[in-house]
Amino acid sequence: MNEQTSRSPLWFREPIGTGLEILYRCHRLVYSGRSRYQEIAIVDSQVHGRMLFLDGICQSSENDEFIYHEMLVHPTLFSHPAPRSVLVIGGATGASLREIFRHPGIERVVMVDIDGELIEICKRHVPQWHQGNYDDPRLELLVVDGRKYLETSSEIFDCVILDLSDPFESGPALLLFTREFYDLVRAHLGPRGTVAVQAQGISPEEVALHARIANTIGRLFPVVRPYPYTMHCFHRPDAHVMASMDPGWSLEAMIRRVEKTPLPLRYFSLEMARGMFNLPPYLHQAYETFTEILTDDLFFQ
């Protein structure tokens, strides 16, 4: 009897919107439960390795989370001349922490996530993601709503990383994608501060939300640069957005910093930095088409 080599007969089902469903063959249900804020599932899948799902939607996979997290953190940290303090909102897996602490100048990181149960579950069940970075003494971890934190704190940061789940109805991240929220973020950034935003899918038939996120940020920051990436476990092309408070931000300056402090990464590199902001015409077109700003009112009307 060979229990190991036999294929598991169990599948995880991920409905995506109303027209798509993805099934993943899984050999282990690592965790399944409901926290105060969301349904949490962690499985070991055949194709993507360990996967984390929140409210049924894939957040990350062991095999390619490095693409998402390297692309979220490094362009924004390298866009700041000398980042020492970073605020992370969301990011319970700890992988954004891992990438932030690769930068040698970091002195202080504040991480704010509303879901303390999720953080504990990630600490225990996805150590591949955080790799012990939750224990870094430079980290202050706060279990509180990100928006509430911004409203009550007066701390100023060099960089802010918005490592959030999708802004869907009834999800905890809905009001972390609006002009009012980005305004609060801006108030916590120094004069050359930068921010990274997980900014949704960009496939041609569903590019509107991404374009509106980019345009909403564009109303508040002098420099806004979206850039594409693809993770297999998201099963679509996505984009992050980097925004800077510094009107003098330049790609050349960012590239020089990458050149000066090369990091041993698997996805982001000097070579990648040089081409990462080059966008196809259909995306430029989308930014001109979907100009309606996302506001708190809009989501609650």
Q: Which of 122, 189, 254, 276 binds a copy of itself (CB under 8 A)?
A: 276
Contacts with a copy of itself: how many residues (CB under 8 A)? 75
* Of 282 and 299, CB closest to a copy of itself: 282
- Between the two ends of the chain, the Cα-to-Cα distance in Å is 60
89, β-bridge pairs: 112, 162
User: What's the token pair of residue 28?
Assistant: 């282990």
CB of 205 to a copy of itself, least distance (A): 5
Active site amino acids? 163
Asked if residue 13 binds a copy of itself (CB under 8 A), the reply is: yes
CA within 13 Å, CB half, 19: 2
Asked if residue 124 binds a copy of itself (CB under 8 A), the reply is: no
- Enumerate residues 216-255 that contact a copy of itself by CB under 8 A: 228, 230-232, 235-237
Q: Which of 143, 274, 289, 290 binds a copy of itself (CB under 8 A)?
A: 274
Q: Which of 8, 131, 250, 291 binds a copy of itself (CB under 8 A)?
A: 8
Asked if residue 56 binds a copy of itself (CB under 8 A), the reply is: yes
Helix (H, G, I), strand (E, B) or coil at 124: helix
Q: Which of 152, 154, 278, 301 binds a copy of itself (CB under 8 A)?
A: 278
Asked if residue 171 binds a copy of itself (CB under 8 A), the reply is: no
Asked if residue 290 binds a copy of itself (CB under 8 A), the reply is: no
108, β-bridge pairs: 85
For 231-259, the DSSP string reads: EGGGTEEEEEEEEES-TT--HHHHHHHHH
Asked if residue 18 binds a copy of itself (CB under 8 A), the reply is: yes
Asked if residue 288 binds a copy of itself (CB under 8 A), the reply is: no
Q: Please, what's the b/e burial string for 106-128 (b: 16 or more CB within 10 A of its CB; e: otherwise)?
A: beebbbbbbbbbbbebbbebbee
User: What's the token pair of residue 179?
Assistant: 């002009």
CB of 21 to a copy of itself, least distance (A): 4
CB of 171 to a copy of itself, least distance (A): 17
Helix (H, G, I), strand (E, B) or coil at 101: coil
Are 59 and 52 in contact by the 8 Å Cβ rule? The answer is: yes
Are 256 and 176 in contact by the 8 Å Cβ rule? The answer is: no
* Of 1 and 260, CB closest to a copy of itself: 1
Asked if residue 170 binds a copy of itself (CB under 8 A), the reply is: no
Q: Of the candidates 53, 58, 24, 23, which has an alpha carbon nearest to the alpha carbon of residue 40?
A: 53
Contact pattern for a copy of itself over residues 70 through 109, marking x by CB under 8 A: ----------------------------------------
